[in-house]
């Protein structure tokens, strides 16, 4: 929202081109927020959210507009970042929408005080109890009801500095498997979209010789590694920090895969990878939201690189990294946005970079 004096304010619960009355609720040096007092002109994209918890939970801030509007806004966000950062794209493909607008999430992190269960209200530490969650897939909704009906649970009461414990849960678990305050290895939260991502990788690298050495950084437990093996690649160096994900990757014992325990935020990471796979022609990276925090030495250490597949869950850090890549003579050959989480501003980027 733009204030009459020119300030830009962040307002929860409104959509583009809507008109209303607002109250400035918070002021900081970097941004300002406002709260909606009354909505005078509503967007034609508005719908009635089907979830009774949408205003307290805060996990689905875009549920008040239709699917077309959400997709359009995600496309516009990518366009804005490309223009702002001067990033040229040879081929831009349309947003890959989630096949399921509701009922797609295969995992979640619930919060509980041992008596109630739900999420935490946005921007607070306050537990927002819920009775159901419409974005969970059917097995997850069933498991959530089992968790809810298992209350009260003394073992789930908070013991730390927060007034709740967390329950990391996915659709491969039963009630007996759920342990409070224990993190599960990372897993893409939308199964159908994860399959689209793996198909995209295979299609993007279809013209690459299967004997070419590949490096997969931030490989996790081998989600995309498996797609590369299934596509026929025979020399894959899969790099990940020490932990349960790397142990899970190694347990899969995939042919042609060499695992490497490495911290991708170390200043010497690229020289180390270069020594392990000096002839690598393709680099696949899927970093966390922080992006490639260590970029120095990448191209000097891997001089044979011809392609970089950069998958990002945070377009802002992707754009930051691409500005550096462009200075080294790389360009975006094609880009595909992907909607991993409908009803949220989140959008993934699937991109292929070439020299």
Is 313 one of the annotated active-site residues of the chain? yes
What's CA 69's distance to the chain center, in Å?
20
**What are the backbone angles phi and psi of residue 9, rounded to the nearest 5°?**
-120, 145
Taking the C-alpha atoms of residue 274 and residue 239, their distance in angstroms, rounded to an integer, is 12
* Sheet strand arrangement including 282-285: 89-92, 331-338, 348-354, 307-312, 282-285, 214-217, 236-240, 257-261
Quick one: 9 exposed, middle or buried, by C-beta within 10 A (0-12, 13-18, 19+)? middle
Provide the token pair at 246: 């790397």
Provide the token pair at 285: 């990276």
Are the beta carbons of 262 and 240 closer than 8 angstroms? yes
* Helix or strand (DSSP H, E) at 335: strand 331-338
Are the beta carbons of 121 and 164 closer than 8 angstroms? no
Is the Cα torsion angle 219, 222, 224, 230 positive or negative in sign? positive
Are the beta carbons of 19 and 40 closer than 8 angstroms? yes
**Options 57, 133, 219, 313, the catalytic residue:** 313
Taking the C-alpha atoms of residue 128 and residue 114, their distance in angstroms, rounded to an integer, is 13
Residues carrying an active site annotation: 313
């Amino acid at each position: 929202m733009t204030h009459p004096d020119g300030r830009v304010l962040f307002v929860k619960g409104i959509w583009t081109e809507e008109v209303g009355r607002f109250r400035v609720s918070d002021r900081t040096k970097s941004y300002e927020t406002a709260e909606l007092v009354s909505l005078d002109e509503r967007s034609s994209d508005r719908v009635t959210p089907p979830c009774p918890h949408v205003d307290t939970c805060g996990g689905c801030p875009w549920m008040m507009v239709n699917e077309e509007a959400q997709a359009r806004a995600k496309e516009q966000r990518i366009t804005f970042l490309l223009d702002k950062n001067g990033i040229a794209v040879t081929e831009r493909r349309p947003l890959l929408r989630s096949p399921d607008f509701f009922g797609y999430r295969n995992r979640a992190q619930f919060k509980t005080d041992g008596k109630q269960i739900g999420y935490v209200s946005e921007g607070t530490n306050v537990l927002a109890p819920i009775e159901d969650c419409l974005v969970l897939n059917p097995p997850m909704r069933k498991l959530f009801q089992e968790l809810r009906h298992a209350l009260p649970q003394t073992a789930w009461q908070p013991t730390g500095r927060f007034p709740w414990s967390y329950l990391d849960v996915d659709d491969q678990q039963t009630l007996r498997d759920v342990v409070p305050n224990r993190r599960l290895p990372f897993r893409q939260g939308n199964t159908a979209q994860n399959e689209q991502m793996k198909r995209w990788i295979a299609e993007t690298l279809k013209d690459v010789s299967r004997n070419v050495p590949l490096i997969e950084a931030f490989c996790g437990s081998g989600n995309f590694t498996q797609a590369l093996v299934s596509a026929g690649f025979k020399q894959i160096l899969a790099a990940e920090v020490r932990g349960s994900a790397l142990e899970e990757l190694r347990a899969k014992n995939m042919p042609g895969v060499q695992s490497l325990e490495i911290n991708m935020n170390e200043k010497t990471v690229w020289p180390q990878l270069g020594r392990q796979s000096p002839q690598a022609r393709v680099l696949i990276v899927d970093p966390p939201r922080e992006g490639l925090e260590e970029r120095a030495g990448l191209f000097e250490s891997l001089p044979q690189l011809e392609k970089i597949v950069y998958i990002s869950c945070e377009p802002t850090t992707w754009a930051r990294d691409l500005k550096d890549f462009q200075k080294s003579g790389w360009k975006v050959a094609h880009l595909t946005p992907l909607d991993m989480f409908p009803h949220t501003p989140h959008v993934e980027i699937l991109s292929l970079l070439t020299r």
